[in-house]
Chains A and B, each alone.
Chain A
Amino acid sequence: MSTKARTRALIAMLFALVLALGLAACGDDGGDTTGGGGGKAIVSNPDNGKVTLTIGSKNFTEQLVLGEIYAKGLEAAGYKVKTDLNLGSEVIALKALQAGEVSGYPEYTSTALTSFFKAAPEDVPSDPQEAYQQSKAEFEKEGLTAFPPTPFASANAVGTLRTTAEELGLEKVSDLEGQSQDLTLYGSPECRQRVDCLVGLEDGYGLQFKSFTPVDIGLRYEVLDKGQADLSILFTTDAQLSAEADKYVILEDDKKVFPAGNVIFVTDQKVVDEAGPDYEKTITQVQSGLTEQVMQELDARVDIDRQEPAAVATQYLKESGYID
């Protein structure tokens, strides 16, 4: 292709992008509702106005949506709410919480247990309540606490293009044996130090890859699309996995090194004492409708329909009848 044609192609692509964004913004979202509609509206309590809460989150779509849902719900309950979303990896989010920069943030029980409390992946309880109690007990040793888990759970997963999977005969992670040394793997920077990520693939499955390249977590599908990554670390709740099921597949974690975790809202015990009972009540109320299907739908509205996480959170709360 001549450079001129290339430039033209690039400009055309730019226009297409602008157009697509415009169309997505206009697209109607009728049809698929996320809430049962039977939720009880959140009641604003004037006493809560004295308390300011800062809601944090990690740096990917699901976390941003969750952070916004919690923030808007607490606002409806009468609290003064600030947000400090997109903090980074779990280590940074936890530091922000310990330093009092945020009042709380959503964390996965599996991540908490394996990353913070050094549990082996096989020791993460598969029962959500058990995993919650175990995480909570660990957090309490550090003056922190956690609210009960969401209905949905999410896990890391090794993903690839369906065409690659068919070509190489990949269905489960152990099918990579004997092939992984020729395959490139991409994942988030923190993946290198996580047992439910690269470390688990190397130690748990005994796999060695041609290369591991850390990239921004938001690019986990782009690197597959562009053919740069043969394999990419995805999340089981990713919208793309259901919306574009003919394109992407995840490999079954047959040796169970990627435990699934439900989201628990981790917060400081001092904040709980100060904020009163509406804090926990509101958080558990707004997350009660978050089944796997609903969470995936909300992720899709951001990642595929290109809506703002804040707008998606508001829609969810309205559709569920928590706010009007």
Chain B
Amino acid sequence: MSAAPHLPLAGLEIFGQAIEFIFNGQEAPTVSGKVGGLDQVLDLTARHLEVTALAMGLALIVALPAGLVLGHYGRGELVAVAAGNAGRALPELAIIAFMAAAIGVGLLNVTIALAVLAVPPILTNTFVAVRQVDRGAVDAARGMGMTAREVITRVELPLAVPTIMSGVRTSTINVVATATIAPLAGVLTLGDFILARNVYGDDGVLAGAMLVALLALTLELALAGLQRLLTSPGLRDATTATA
């Protein structure tokens, strides 16, 4: 019975070693040298964030206007949904491999592959959000003499913000998590700790997973804050209801 209290501790010890890996690094598991440590962690985290930001930026440029326009005119629902589902169905690894033959490996390749993953939730959420805007409000805006552009930017978009932002948050989490495969295309993100077990050892794998999870949670909280800022004050109670 005396062994029982050690069991949970043995589990915790693994996390202790992973945390040690993050802050101080350790001897490389095979040949001599040091791996891990805060400098390398920050380096890879910066690259991870860069890839995520680029992919999200590209996805927003593509999906947001498309979703707003399609939603405004109430057309192309089939296109929006089909494009969304197709994007979700395409494996990122296949996209990376296909584009490696077309444009080579590297940042552009990974950015496009991750943007393909990020587009669907933004596109479908934007489309649905605009469609669900109270028709009375849109009619009133038209009655006031607003042009189509004004109706979209001043009425539909503000009212659609909470739903659009929930799409953006979903995309961001997907992208942050999936950016772990970027090292396969030569872009060193936190995924390197996870993929290159030979180089970093088991502690590195766990440390990588913990860092990615932490990054995802941080971004989720930041975006929840951003969503609150972007939502018009009159809608804020409704926001908590939809979220």
Binds B, one of A23-31, A218-226, A247-255, A291-299: A218-226
A222 lies within 8 A of B100 (CB)? yes
Q: Give CA–CA (A115, B192) in the complex, Å.
A: 19
Neighbouring A residues of B210 by C-beta, 8 Å: none
Give chain A's interface secondary structure class.
Answer: helix
Inter-chain CA distance A130–B28, complex, in Å, is 30
Complex contacts, A92 vs chain B, CB 8 Å: 197
A193 interface hit (Cβ, 8 Å) = yes
Specify which of A115, A214, A227 is in contact with B188 (CB 8 Å cutoff).
Answer: A214
Q: How far is A192 from B34 in the complex, measured between Cα atoms in Å?
A: 12
Docked complex Cα distance between A215 and B185 (Å): 5
CA A35 to CA B192, docked complex, whole Å: 41
Which B-chain residue is minimally distant from A115 (CB atoms)? B30
* Contact of A199 with B102 in the complex, beta carbons under 8 Å: no
B interface residue count range (under 10 / 10 to 19 / 20 to 34 / 35 or more)? 20 to 34
Known: A92-B197, A186-B186. A222 touches B104 (CB 8 A): yes
Which residue of the partner chain, among A194, A223, A226, contacts B198 with CB atoms under 8 Å?
A194
Q: How extensive is the interface on chain A, given as a class?
A: 20 to 34
The B contact surface, by secondary structure, is helix
CB distance from A80 to the nearest CB of B (A): 30
- Please give the distance in Å from A199's CB to the nearest CB on chain B: 5
Residues of A within 8 A of B185 (CB): 215-216, 219
Q: Which residues of chain A from 157 to 196 have any CB-CB distance to chain B below 8 Å in the complex?
A: 186, 189-190, 192-195
Kindly state the separation between the CA atoms of A239 and B106 in the bound complex, as whole angstroms.
25
Does A228 touch B at the CB level, under 8 Å? yes
Which interface residue of A17, A194, A225, A226 has the most chain B CB atoms within 10 A?
Answer: A226
Residue ranges of B at the interface with A (Cβ–Cβ < 8 Å): 28-31, 96-98, 100-106, 183-186, 188, 192, 195-199
Chosen A-B contacts, 23 in total, with CB atoms closer than 8 Å, are A88-B197, A91-B197, A91-B198, A115-B198, A189-B183, A189-B192, A189-B196, A190-B196, A190-B199, A192-B196, A193-B29, A193-B199, A194-B30, A214-B186, A215-B183, A216-B96, A216-B97, A219-B97, A219-B105, A219-B184, A223-B105, A226-B103, A228-B186
